[in-house]
Structure 1
Amino acid sequence: MNRIMTILAPGLLLAGCAAGGTTGPARAPFVPIPTGTLGLEGVIGQNARGLVARLGTPVADLTEGNARKLQFASGTCVLDAYLYPKGNAEPTVTYLDARQSDGSPIDRASCVSALQMKARGGK
């Protein structure tokens, strides 16, 4: 009996190690961070004319291929509006990027509000 145990013991120990191996820490699924469009309803989807009517004259107007970027600035912030066409339609705003004048982050809706105030003759 001792002889059988001596022969089987190493095999059982190795089998236990192989069966109970760890696979590493579990990874959480990727969850995108929503950027939200609250306060941007009058800007997202606008064409260039509508955007200029709402925010004033852009400080930069760049075109690359069929894409266009209009940049607006106030003493508070800088807003980049990216316009892309869908099919043969006129390009409209599909994405906005905003930053404070010193480059620090700012909420896009706050920047749009500051630009609208400036366009209406405010500070």
Structure 2
Amino acid sequence: MQPSRIAISVAASLALAGCAPAVPESGPPRPAASAPATRPAAPSRARVPRHLPRTATRQNLPGLEAVIGARAADLVRMFGPARLDIVEGDARKLQFEGSACVLDVYLYPPAEGREPETTYVDARRSDGLDVDRAACVAALRQR
């Protein structure tokens, strides 16, 4: 064998040896080393907020200008009653459905105590395949 092939062979063997499972030693088990006794840390008394305020980034895509920034009442005026209305903490998801597509609209408050506004939309066909968001908004507005 050439010296470079030998070096490659040795390196490959060492690399594969690292992947092999460890073989346990035979004989009686060793007693576990006793750890020095330590005093447990005192539990933290810090107050944890019930929810953390979120700062949602607004989606910026052409054709969504009428939807991004809209409140729930605005969306119902645009598309009719929502098929789903899910509230989780300070966030809200509305789902609108038409023959062309399903539109999921996500609303988050722009500041604590303010009414949620649309920051993100997603669109798909009823079979789950993605569709153009702006085209879905346009199709639902024509109903």
TM-score, structure 2 as length reference: 0.57
| Cα shift readout 1:31-85 (whole Å, capped 9, x = no counterpart) | xxxx751110000000000011111111000000000000000011000000000
Letter paired with 1:113 = A
| One-letter code aligned to 1:111 | C
Q: State how far apart, in whole Å, the 1-side matches of 2:116 and 2:60 are.
A: 21
CA distance in 1, matches of 2:64, 2:120: 10
Q: Which residue of 2 aligns with 1:90?
A: 115
In structure 1, the partner of 2:54 is none
Name the aligned partner's letter for residue 84 of structure 1.
Answer: Y
Q: How does 1:100-115 map to 2 (within 5 A)?
A: 100-115=125-140
The equivalent residue for 1:48 is 72
- Runs of 5+ unmatched residues, structure 2: 1-58
| Correspondence for 1:63 | 87
What amino acid is the match of 2:110? K
Amino acid at match of 1:78: V
Q: Whole-Å Cα distance in 2 between the matches of residues 42 and 55 of structure 1?
A: 12
1:11-34 residue CA offsets vs partner (Å, 9 max, x unmatched): xxxxxxxxxxxxxxxxxxxxxxxx
Large movers: runs of 4+ above 6 Å: none
Distance (Å, rounded) in 2 between the aligned partners of 1:37 and 1:89: 24
CA RMSD of aligned residues (A): 1.1
SS at match of 1:41: coil
Secondary structure at the counterpart of residue 98 of structure 1: strand
Say which structure is richer in strand. 1
- Secondary structure of the corresponding residue to residue 114 of structure 1: helix
More helix, by proportion:
1
Partner residue, 1:72: 96
Structure 1, unaligned runs of 5 or more: 1-34, 119-123
CA distance in 2, matches of 1:91, 1:54: 17
Letter in 2 for 1:107: D
Q: CA deviation at 1:105?
A: 1.2
